[in-house]
Amino acid sequence: MEITDAVRKAAKTFETPFLIMDLDIVEQNYRKLQNAIPGCKIFYAVKANSHVRILERLRNLGSNFDVASIGEIKKLLELGVTPDRMIFANPMKREKDIAEAYRIGLRLFVADCPMELEKIAENAPGSQIVVRVAVENKHSDWPLSRKFGTDMLTAVDLLGYAQKLRLKPVGVSFHVGSQNYNPKSWSNAIENVAKIFYWVERNFGIELSILDIGGGIPVKHLKPIPTVEEIGQTVLQAVNEYLPNVRNLTIFAEPGRSMVGDAGILVSRVILRCQRGSEEWVYLDAGVFHGLMETIENFRYELVVEGKEEEKKMPFVLAGPTCDSVDKIYDDAMLPYNITLDDIVYFINAGAYTVEYGTNFNGIPSPKVYFVQDLT
């Protein structure tokens, strides 16, 4: 997202820190993915940014939703999203959440181990099951595979077990890891998942029809990224090559970051600059516990300092406003040499996984969210 005049004006007007978002960019992102993979059913991963305005815009576009908890399900229901537009994709659901989701009418669940299937069979009998497999994550910023997903052999066992539990095994999902830079990650995954499709048909008579390609489409930060068109092309080619004979195949996608990441800018302010030993420190009113949680894993945002875009840069330690040593953003942020008190610092493309992790730590509230659509 560009730092438009409206954004600059907001930075001067509103109390910092805040996230400013553009709903039209969210819409563009949705349409781009829809065009890149025609017929694909998009389930927006609500956890990336659950602001009501974003959910409403995507609802109006016909989006479906990937939900992680009963809290997200209820929020969507209140917005008029029907349960048939949701996939309960968290592989570790509370039993009472499963039961409540089922009561509401949700029938599509993800599982990646036997106990989860048993929980679903008990609390949501007869529901549809997508089994999640772990795939290569090495080209992503956040490899997920250890915590989530099962191996291919266990996957076929789970699909068979689902059937035995009188659930309806309908598909396989995978996640190439958040912020994945290599389209081949998707085609390699599809090649493997295709083997599962054919194996369970041949051996169990299970006809799967859902290929869930998860999320992982990257947002532009400092490194070059493939376009969504390139990723879509790769996915379609892989589907044609490895799954040519599947009847009624539907591709699901669960994008989170790529729907909202580049639709937002986190606007913060310098509250202190000082020398500590040989280091120059800059402290902001945003920090790890106030919008920038992802930086503790060294996630790199593009930083712009208002009015000092052309100044010579030097390295600073950049930290947040709390009395907590963990609240350090970067050890080596390149910032204008003359950055000082009250300067505005923009974190570009920070629409995903920022305010969602917000805390009230140190009595400091989480950043507010504004929309450029509301600015005059």
Site of interaction with a copy of itself (CB under 8 A): 45-47, 50, 67-73, 75, 89-95, 112-116, 119, 134, 142-144, 146-148, 150-151, 271-277, 279, 281, 283, 285, 289, 296-297, 317, 319, 321-328, 341-342, 356-365
Shortest distance, position 169 Cβ to a copy of itself, whole Å: 18
Smaller CB separation from a copy of itself, 31 or 138: 138
Question: Residue 362 contacts by C-beta under 8 Å, 6 or more apart in sequence?
Answer: 289, 321, 322, 323, 324
Shortest distance, position 375 Cβ to a copy of itself, whole Å: 23
Smaller CB separation from a copy of itself, 52 or 230: 52
323 among known catalytic residues: yes
Smaller CB separation from a copy of itself, 262 or 285: 285
Of 358, 222, 221, 345, the closest CA to residue 282 belongs to: 345
Indicate which residue of 40, 113, 274, 323 is catalytic: 323
Asked if residue 114 has a cis previous peptide bond (ω within 30° of 0), the answer is no
Mapping DSSP onto H, E and C, the string for 169-217 reads EEEEEEECCEEECCCHHHHHHHHHHHHHHHHHHHHHCCCCCEEECCCCC
Shortest distance, position 325 Cβ to a copy of itself, whole Å: 5
Question: CA 36, CA 115: separation in Å to the nearest integer?
Answer: 36
How many other CB atoms sit within 10 Å of the CB of residue 279? Answer: 12
Smaller CB separation from a copy of itself, 171 or 321: 321
Question: CA 5, CA 7: separation in Å to the nearest integer?
Answer: 5
Smaller CB separation from a copy of itself, 235 or 319: 319
Shortest distance, position 270 Cβ to a copy of itself, whole Å: 10
Shortest distance, position 240 Cβ to a copy of itself, whole Å: 30
CB 329 within 8 A of CB 281: no
* Structure-token match 């065009």, residue found: 35
Of 75, 101, 105, 39, the closest CA to residue 249 belongs to: 39
Catalytic positions, please? 323
